[in-house]
């Protein structure tokens, strides 16, 4: 999997664009700055946006190519991010470290998804926010990105179960138009989630 992402990011173009995910940016703009963890951060568009807003950003991804491009993007914007090379299964920080965790199109196989989501809950401080935008199973009909394995696409029932320990503030399935670089472009079927740690 690591080789696939390194190859995908191995171009001068930012394949998901340099601008942050719209939903992520909207939610972050509502919050006071603090510590943010960004799993599967790829080329750094969301991390750099958050750092420019004054957040302490901890990002991770398995792709060295993604990290290199993320640090270049941070340098271009005169900001700094902490970017760690790690798989989601092994990455960890101390419990109650983060004010927010954002999973932006971070899809995991069914066998490991729930455990990774549980770790993310543990990373949050009490009152901390979980932010997610991902593809739902209807995305299989579209060519605007996402996994082609249905078990890696998320439903409301799945997220209710994974995050049942949290207070759900938003959970919706909807159709949007993506304009995020060459690989996220067009009509998309997504799911959005916001949960607050008790």
Task: Dump the DSSP string for 73-126.
Answer: HHHHTT---EEEE--TTT----TT-EEEEEEES----HHHHHHHHHHHHHHEEE
pLDDT at 120 (0 to 100): 98
**Tens of pLDDT along 65-120?**
999 999 999 999 999 999 999 999 999 999 999 999 999 999 999 999 999 999 99
- Token pair 């304009």: residue: 179
CATH architecture of 2-197: 3-Layer(aba) Sandwich (3.40)
Q: What residues in the chain have per-residue pLDDT under 50?
A: none
Largest Cα separation within the chain, whole Å, is 43
The whole-angstrom separation of Cα 50 and Cα 61 is 17
User: Quick one: tokens of 66?
Assistant: 């993604």
pLDDT at 2 (0 to 100): 82
Taking the domains of the chain in order of start, what are their residue ranges? 2-197
The whole-angstrom separation of Cα 92 and Cα 170 is 26
**Distances from the Cα of 82 to the Cα of 48, 70, 122, 175, 188, angstroms:** 10, 10, 20, 33, 31
User: What predicted TM-score, i.e. pTM, was given to this entire model?
Assistant: 0.97
pLDDT at 152 (0 to 100): 98
User: Quick one: tokens of 39?
Assistant: 């799993």
pLDDT at 3 (0 to 100): 87
Q: Do residues 144 and 188 touch, judged by C-beta distance below 8 A?
A: yes
């Amino acid at each position: 999997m690591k080789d696939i992402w390194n190859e995908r990011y191995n171009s001068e173009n930012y394949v998901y664009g340099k601008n942050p995910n719209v939903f992520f940016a909207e939610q972050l703009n509502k919050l006071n700055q603090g510590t943010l963890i960004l799993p599967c951060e790829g080329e750094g568009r969301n991390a750099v946006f958050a750092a420019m807003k004054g957040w302490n950003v901890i990002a991770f991804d398995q792709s060295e190519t993604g990290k290199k491009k993320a640090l270049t993007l941070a340098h271009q914007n005169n900001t700094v991010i902490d970017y760690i090379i790690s798989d989601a299964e092994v990455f960890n920080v101390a419990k109650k470290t983060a004010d927010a965790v954002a999973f932006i199109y971070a899809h995991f196989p069914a066998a490991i998804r729930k455990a990774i989501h549980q770790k993310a809950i543990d990373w949050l401080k009490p009152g901390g926010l979980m932010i997610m935008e991902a593809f739902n199973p209807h995305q299989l009909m579209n060519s605007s990105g996402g996994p082609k394995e249905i078990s890696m696409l998320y439903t409301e029932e799945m997220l209710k179960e994974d995050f049942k320990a949290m207070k759900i503030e938003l959970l919706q399935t909807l159709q949007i138009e993506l304009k995020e670089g060459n690989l996220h472009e067009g009509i998309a079927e997504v799911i959005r989630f916001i949960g607050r740690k008790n």
